[in-house]
Amino acid sequence: MQAATSFDLVFFGGTGDLTWRKLMPALFQAFRHGKLPAGGRILAVARDEQSDEKYREWLRERFKEVEGSKRPSDEEFQRFASMVFYRRMDLSQPEHYTRLREWLGERQADTVVLYLATSPHLFTQICEQLGAAGLNHPKVRVVLEKPLGHDLASAQQINRVVRSVFDEQQAFRIDHYLGKPSVQNLMALRFGNAFFEPLWRRESIANIQITLAESLGVGTRGPFYDGTGALRDMIQNHALQLLTILAMEPPATNDADAIRDEKLKVLRALKPFTPESVTRDVVRGQYRAGNVGGQSVPGYLQESKVPPDSRCETFVALRTEVQNWRWAGVPFYLRTGKRLAARDAQIVINFRQVPHAIFPGPQRANRLIIKLQPEDGLELELLAAKGGAPGEALAPVKLDLDFDKAFSGAARVGAYERLLLDAIAGKLNLFVRSDEQEQAWRWVGPVLDAWAASEEPPRPYTAGSWGPAAASAMVARDGFTWPEEV
């Protein structure tokens, strides 16, 4: 697909939280950075009856809640808003799709991007209606926001409907983690530099740990979160996508399918779960009242609209392996949770000890820490001699690279900004293919089944901690620890 010279971008769910909190601000940043292609129109559709001007005024008010440096000036907003339009649309009415087709046909843009920022249960209905209205021609791309399904069967049903209407090359399944600059640097680190690749294997690496920690609770998302949980919300998509990039073989090219083929091989090589291994290698938890950042916070069961007997997990830690020649025997540990001690997302590559120690004192193994948020950078932990007395013990030193400082002169592109621009340009590299998505559901399925069959509730943990003690015990069985100093 070639980059568009003109585009129409349609947001289904044009008055929803995702559109005004994430998508419109990201588009504005692309506009401010001069990266949004000229000749574009942005159309919001929703059930409310309002004019273009009324919607633009509504959007202007919403922009006041955007982070200060990212808010438009009056002049900037006026120029940006001239691209924004609104149409009332009942997604169940075929004639409304016909009117949308007529609106889009007014000028025959080079590319039409249809972004489904709605509840996932509407995806199949919308796609079927788009097909019936002829809004699936080769110029059309459809963007599907997560979560894509609730389990393997529902994901397969969504994909069957999408494939009946659109070609795979037209379907952009979004995982916003893949748009983060820090995740782009995972690819650059592995495949743009020569010195890591010889060490990127079982002979040199003892274990790999992925932490996606949040200090916030569920807030007002109680009803949604209680039907989802941490495994579906973070592990099945974000954490597994990070794991595949870490473990994949070098792709032959930087093309989308070459990359996604290698990621799929990793997902297929993950050690499958059994009821016995779920009990041993998966820890689920639920936060209780505690203290975060000096403030008392309620437990999950006291959150708004959460059932008092909920067994929804707000924390998951698990151990797995990639069963191939490169990684055989290397444990991969994944953990995520809400109301943890800090907001932190990072990957820790723990290297093996030197095979024969010649220096006195403890021999701490080298570590490579890939920081995803709130910082964005790399930290390499080495051992060095201070140059003092003969026979001294080695001391740990850190080589620290902060990408925000290193690239301070450049306007770094946010996740949704990058992904929206890629969708307009037709670049699929950072989007998830249907077989990847289904294989991820296939892998987590036995965990969901085991929990559903178990009488055991999630393990309680105090808000402001690092989760249930069982998560530390799971890692300790292999002789390792979590990096809880983050």
- Torsion-angle region of 134 (φ positive above 0: left; ψ -120 to 50: alpha; else: beta): left
With beta carbons less than 8 A apart as the criterion, state whether 443 and 267 touch.
yes
> How far lies 323's CA from each of 75, 86, 107, 186, 248, in Å?
56, 51, 53, 21, 12
Cα separation, 298 vs 463, whole angstroms: 8
| Residue with token string 């649309």 | 89
Which contiguous run of DSSP H or E holds residue 286? strand 282-288
Peptide bond into 250 cis (omega under 30): no
> How far lies 332's CA from each of 270, 288, 368, in Å?
10, 27, 15
Give the β-pairing of 111-116 and 7-12. Answer: parallel
> How far lies 170's CA from each of 36, 142, 296, 425, in Å?
20, 6, 47, 12
71-108 as b/e: b if 16+ CB within 10 A: ebeeeebeebbebbbbbebebeeeebbeebeebbeeee
User: Whose CA is closest to 306, among 339, 341, 340?
Assistant: 339
Instruction: Please tell me which residue in 137, 150, 176, 238 is annotated as part of the active site.
Output: 238
The question of whether 33 is a catalytic residue gets the answer: no
What's the CA angle centered on 31, arms 30 and 36, to 5 degrees?
Answer: 70
Cα separation, 407 vs 35, whole angstroms: 18
Catalytic residue IDs: 238
